[in-house]
Amino acid sequence: MLQPQEELEEFYQKYDPWDYEITPDDHTRKSIILSEIPERQYQNVLDIGCGHGFITRELPGTHITAFDVSANAISHAKKFESSRIKFMQSSIFEIPKHTKDSYDLITITGVLYSQYIGKSFNLVYKLVDSILREDGILLCCHINDWYSVRFPYLMLDCYYFPYRDYTQRLEVYIK
């Protein structure tokens, strides 16, 4: 069952409901994510599931567009908007309606769980495929026990690491 939008909005009334800013495991997770992004010059970067922008604001790239389903999360994230970073409210399923761009780096963290996307794995793949450039990089990082999506691209790296009471699975693909 999908988590109701109202629950997400209530949860994100607080600036940092996951306590990312003060939790050492989250700083470690962010460092690992950033270190696993292949070194390149990225023009257009997309961050799906940006929350309040904890990881977004340190991503590489000339232009970064970040989406989250929660309007409250985006209102907190907008404090970090700049000429380089733009935050927008949208579900993963609506992103192609909000952007005509294609991206050379897409990051997806903590989004591809059944409570957020149901069983729409194939639809998620089609959406990502429609906006990820040829030779583009896709980075996914999720709690391993809750994550079953795999993308049909060449996997450059797969990395497991401890995170709070869980194990994170980080995957880096190239299209």
Reported as a single tens digit per residue, the pLDDT across 130-151 is 999 999 999 999 999 999 999 9
Extents of the domains making up the chain: 5-174
**Token pair 């299209």 in the structure block, residue:** 175
Tens-binned pLDDT, residue by residue, of the chain (175 aa): 889 999 999 999 999 999 999 999 999 999 999 999 999 999 999 999 999 999 999 999 999 999 999 999 999 999 999 999 999 999 999 999 998 899 999 999 999 999 999 999 999 999 999 999 999 999 999 999 999 999 999 999 999 999 999 999 999 999 9
Domain 5-174 fold is Rossmann fold (3.40.50)
What is the per-residue pLDDT for 100?
Answer: 87
Q: What is the pLDDT of residue 1?
A: 83
CA distance 88 to 11: 18
- The whole-angstrom separation of Cα 69 and Cα 98 is 13
Q: In what order do the strands lie in the sheet with 63-68?
A: 85-89, 63-68, 44-48, 103-109, 132-143, 166-174, 154-163
pLDDT in tens, 96-110: 999 889 999 999 999
DSSP letter for 44, please.
E
Residue pointed to by tokens 């985006």: 74
Here the tokens at position 117 are 């996307």
